[in-house]
Chain A
């Protein structure tokens, strides 16, 4: 079955501390993995995708096929990083997205 798991509903870290948002997936083929972010009162938007292999707003995520994980990391958290983060996968011909349950990241000053 296709599934995305985000084990943490809430992650609270202090400003300047490292951040790691966990994401594990289950998929029989070769999926494409994404991180979407929703800031307060804004719409859901793409943060990054594994095929781009780029850093966006200091965030990176590496696809680990052995562990079926796509954890989101940032070495030094900033207050503006506070948001809801969703991991998602896409596979097959339809490009439909399967979302995890989301992690609320709260950065404490």
Chain B
């Protein structure tokens, strides 16, 4: 398994500002993903964070709004840029270790409220 931490655990931000969320894993992993869970809804994949190259974004999500970094095999950041109240969500990081069995482990999430 993999132990994942996220910072911050929650934040309240003003409209128009940006927030960077960090995801740290206790071991090297092959894949890292960022999901969003809007209030009362399911998890939606934002992007796959690729080590050493640009992230792969899902339909409806763009790099200018959600820039992602992955400088190494244990760390990634997601920035929510120019925030609006519609960005209020839980943002989750997940990882897939090098076991090759497609199992993903999830972080505790970051609860973001935009006023």
Contacts and interface: CB of A to CB of B under 8 A. Distances in A.
Contacts, number: 43
Contacts of B41: 101
A64 interface: no
* Chain A, interface SS category: strand
Contact of B103 (A49, A96, A98): A49
**Interface range, B side:** 20 to 34
Q: Is the interface of B mostly helix, strand, loop or mixed?
A: strand
Interface residues of A, number: 18
Interface in A18-43: 32, 36, 43
Interface in B56-115: 56, 58, 92, 94, 96, 102-109
B45 A98 contact: yes
Contacts of B105: 45-46
Contacts of B103: 46, 49
Interface of B: 31, 33, 41-45, 48, 56, 58, 92, 94, 96, 102-109
B106 A45 contact: yes
A99 interface: yes
Interface of A: 32, 36, 43-46, 49, 86, 90, 94-102
